[in-house]
């Protein structure tokens, strides 16, 4: 079956620091990959996505590259802000099992201090 593994948090950084949140996956098919963000008290929002190998998804200064050879989709940002404090979820979706229901990782909490 499909699975997503994320680094455990919390990740605590100072403002303007470089961020990496690791994500690796296993999938029976050829998945699309996603990062979602959940701000305190809110639902999940799609942050970025990539649908094929070597694609780079990007949004709001965040980037992630679909690496098929290492089955990874690590999230990076060059300079984090306090407002980036949230929980980040890596997810995949493919047609295995007959539907595109996404599989989510457990989430990584990011705390950014001024």
Interacting residues toward other proteins by CB under 8 A: 32, 36, 41-46, 89, 93, 95, 97-107
Q: What is the rounded distance in angstroms from the CA atom of residue 113 to the CA atom of residue 90? A: 23
- Our CB check for other proteins shows the closer of 18 and 100 to be 100
Minimum Å gap between C-beta 106 and other proteins is 4
- Our CB check for other proteins shows the closer of 73 and 105 to be 105
Say if CB 33 and CB 49 are below 8 A apart.
yes
Minimum Å gap between C-beta 78 and other proteins is 26
Minimum Å gap between C-beta 52 and other proteins is 13
**In terms of DSSP bridges, do strands 11-14 and 108-113 run parallel, antiparallel, or are they unpaired?**
parallel
- Our CB check for other proteins shows the closer of 12 and 45 to be 45
Cα-to-chain-centroid distance, residue 96: 21
Q: What is the rounded distance in angstroms from the CA atom of residue 100 to the CA atom of residue 73? A: 18
């Amino acid at each position: 079956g499909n699975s997503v593994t994320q680094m455990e948090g919390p990740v605590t950084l100072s403002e303007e620091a470089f961020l990496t949140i690791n994500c690796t996956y296993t999938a029976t098919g050829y998945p699309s990959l996603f990062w979602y963000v959940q701000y305190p008290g809110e639902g999940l929002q799609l942050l970025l996505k990539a649908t094929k190998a070597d694609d780079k998804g990007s949004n709001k200064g965040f980037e992630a590259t679909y690496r098929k050879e290492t089955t990874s989709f690590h999230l990076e940002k060059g300079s984090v802000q306090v407002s980036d404090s949230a929980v980040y979820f890596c997810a995949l979706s493919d047609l295995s099992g007959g539907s595109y229901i996404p599989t989510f990782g457990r989430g990584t909490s990011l705390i950014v201090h001024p």
